[in-house]
Amino acid sequence: MALIVKKFGGSSVATPDKMRAIVQRVLAGKQPGDQIVIVVSAMGDTTDDLVALAKEITSKPYGREMDMLLSTGEQVSIALMAMAFREAGHKAISLTGQQAGITTSDAFNKGRILDIQAQRVIDELKDGNIVIIAGFQGITEHGDITTLGRGGSDTTAVAIAGAIHADACEIYTDVDGIYTSDPRVVTNAQKMGEITYGEMLEMAKLGAGVMQPRAVEMGSRFNVPIHVRSTFSDVQGTMIQEDYSMEIKQYLIRGVAEDKNVAKVTVLGVLNQPGHAYKIFSELADQNIDVDMIVQSVRVAKEGTTDITFTVSRSELPAVRDVFAKIRGEIGAEDILIDDKMAKVSVVGAGMAGHPGIAASMFGILGDNDINIEIISTSEISITCLIAEESVDKAVQKIHDHFFAESEA
């Protein structure tokens, strides 16, 4: 007897046939007494189609109305999935985000889950239903529909699992687990049996795809074991959990990740006075622009000025330009340089703390391969270098070869 949340993405529910395949698989794997919650995304390209429809009407992002529109995609999926389960002879009921008790902030298009009152979910499970919940959506305190932004259905699944104290949350994807590096880049990348939340967060933030950081954070907060596994096979995937199983050795390095969605912004000749750096980053924060690496140079080309360099996602560049158009006079900057051909390479591993040699090895490998490091940042469990995009695939392969020759995944 287990209580399991299973999340299926849009490509897994793209057609009635694919829905039926999920139904068969879920029912085949269900033990007597198991309670099952299913979280689904919109079918196939539905969300893109709805966005295109909105674009025929306006180019402006009316957040509330956009969420009203987009949330219909998941609602269609849950209704059809519930029908498919009932057609297969099992009791099932669909619930919208609102019906599942999911309250979010009122940040339309990127709502944050504030609370889940899951009593209805629990009641429907007790009543013998497979409960099918719309991913990616919730409502504000005022009853307006919100969507949760990128990766929102994963977040819904993990949050629901936390709220109902599920034994695990299974995320079904088109890959069969988390790899030590991107298998498309590093051909000898190895699938991991387990990984900690912290490691996964670093991997995810660094673009290793598969799981959105928000969902992993949610899993960490509520201590929900997350099983990332394949939609297409029954092979065991990767467990994301608080700690490794007792039998498994403590890993030094867990993975090597890359992120190509990086742009470097350099603000030249900022007056080196108190408050100017604050001004820049508070304005960026006001526009919800997520700034990653930051360095302030000590160049003295002009007395009393400094250069500030930081990285953002490439999609944020138009917003960054708007911010600087507004504040440039105030901070006295000479010029803004933007390089959108940058990338990040990182090594991640909860075991690396206290092993300073890892950073040295990484820098040495990059140097041996004539790859220039522009910025370095570190955390307890990762080391990240900003390098040119054109070199990043090579860098990942070389670093992976080095560490995974010594240590197996």
- What is the contact surface with a second copy in residues (CB under 8 A)? 16, 19-20, 50, 53-54, 56-58, 60, 62, 64-66, 68-69, 71-72, 75-76, 78-80, 82-84, 86-87, 93-94, 96, 98-99, 120, 143-145
> 341 a known binding residue?
no
> 138 a known binding residue?
no
In the complex, minimum distance from the CB of residue 158 to a second copy, in angstroms, rounded to a whole number = 24
- Residue 54 sits at φ, ψ, to 5 deg, of -60, -40
Q: Which of 293, 257, 302 is nearest to 374 (CA)?
A: 293
> 339 a known binding residue?
no
In the complex, minimum distance from the CB of residue 116 to a second copy, in angstroms, rounded to a whole number = 15
Sign of CA dihedral 205, 209, 213, 217: negative
Residue closer to a second copy by CB (options 101, 198) is: 101
Q: Which of 363, 371, 260, 264 is nearest to 307 (CA)?
A: 264
Residue closer to a second copy by CB (options 85, 324) is: 85
> 10 a known binding residue?
yes
Report whether 261 contacts 386 (CB < 8 A): no
Residue closer to a second copy by CB (options 25, 191) is: 25
In the complex, minimum distance from the CB of residue 43 to a second copy, in angstroms, rounded to a whole number = 9
In the complex, minimum distance from the CB of residue 214 to a second copy, in angstroms, rounded to a whole number = 25
Residue closer to a second copy by CB (options 58, 223) is: 58
In the complex, minimum distance from the CB of residue 99 to a second copy, in angstroms, rounded to a whole number = 6
Burial of 94 (0-12, 13-18, 19+ CB in 10 A): buried
Residue closer to a second copy by CB (options 24, 378) is: 24
Residue closer to a second copy by CB (options 50, 359) is: 50
> 403 a known binding residue?
no
> 332 a known binding residue?
no
> 184 a known binding residue?
yes
In the complex, minimum distance from the CB of residue 61 to a second copy, in angstroms, rounded to a whole number = 10
Report the DSSP pairing between strands 130-134 and 92-95. Answer: parallel
Residue closer to a second copy by CB (options 123, 242) is: 123
In the complex, minimum distance from the CB of residue 57 to a second copy, in angstroms, rounded to a whole number = 5
> 229 a known binding residue?
no
> 174 a known binding residue?
yes
User: Known binding site: residues?
Assistant: 7-10, 47, 74, 173-174, 179, 184
User: Known binding site for substrate: residues?
Assistant: 47, 74
User: Known binding site for ATP: residues?
Assistant: 7-10, 173-174, 179, 184
